Structure 1
Amino acid sequence: MIENDWFVKNLADITNFNILKAYTKESTALGASLVSGIGIGYYKGFDNIKSLTNMSNKLQSTIDKNLRKKIIENWHNAVQKTIEMAD
């Protein structure tokens, strides 16, 4: 998912969160191994592993709150209609 700039940009817009894209394509595996390293005491904590991850860019929301609200409202309506069709 992270390689799809359109998806990540829309995710940032809808959630209103800044999203950092990693250079590493297998970020999940890297994250799991780093957290395991913390778990076994190899790293003292998250502050010690920040330097081991490189971010390629930061995607920020660029839509206004009214548009975001409308998109989320439309999504909820679509989910509700889908549930009603299944009944």
Structure 2
Amino acid sequence: TGPAHFARAAPESVCYQTNDLLTAMVADGPQAPSALRVDGGMVANDWLVRCLSDITGVPVERPANIETTALGAARLAGLACGVYDSLEAMSSAWELDLRAEPSLDATARREQIRNWTAAVDAVGRYALASKT
């Protein structure tokens, strides 16, 4: 394990954690999303966007303007105040830069997720054991 492994592990862990959240949301909700839309500085990294798509098994869409978190909040406020008359009207200003499609088959995806889960469990057991 060297610096390159840690450099990859950090953003990759974000993808696995996102998959964990998505799995929980789908279990509680009516249906799985047809795509994930992402924003923020991390998604400037094409590899991260593709990794997220592979791990979640869902297409991931990155906007042309990646720093849109505050803009999204402002648009939702505009929707609530009547600036936009519908969700579709509000969303029409969104511009696609990259759409990453999953490239892993279902078997490989499940295996990677099993490995992630096993690693997280092992760290948890180590942390508990070191407290005693």
TM-score (norm 2): 0.63
Give the equivalent residue in structure 1 for 2:93: 52
The number of equivalent residue pairs is 87
1:31-62 per-position Cα deviation (integer Å, ceiling 9, x unaligned): 11111111222112211112211111211101
The alignment-based identity, stated in percent, is 31
Match of 2:109 in 1: 68
Is 1:12 the counterpart of 2:53? The answer is yes
Q: CA RMSD for the aligned pairs?
A: 1.0
Unaligned runs of 5+ in 1: none
2:82 aligns with one of 25, 29, 41: 41
Q: Which has the higher contact order (CA 8 A, sep 6+)?
A: 1
| Runs of 5+ consecutive residues of structure 2 not aligned to the other structure | 1-41
> What SS does the aligned partner of 2:43 have?
coil
Residue of structure 2 in register with 1:22 after alignment: 63
Whole-Å Cα distance in 2 between the matches of residues 27 and 17 of structure 1?
Answer: 21
Partner of 1:77: 118
Structure 1 stretches of 4+ moved >3 Å: none
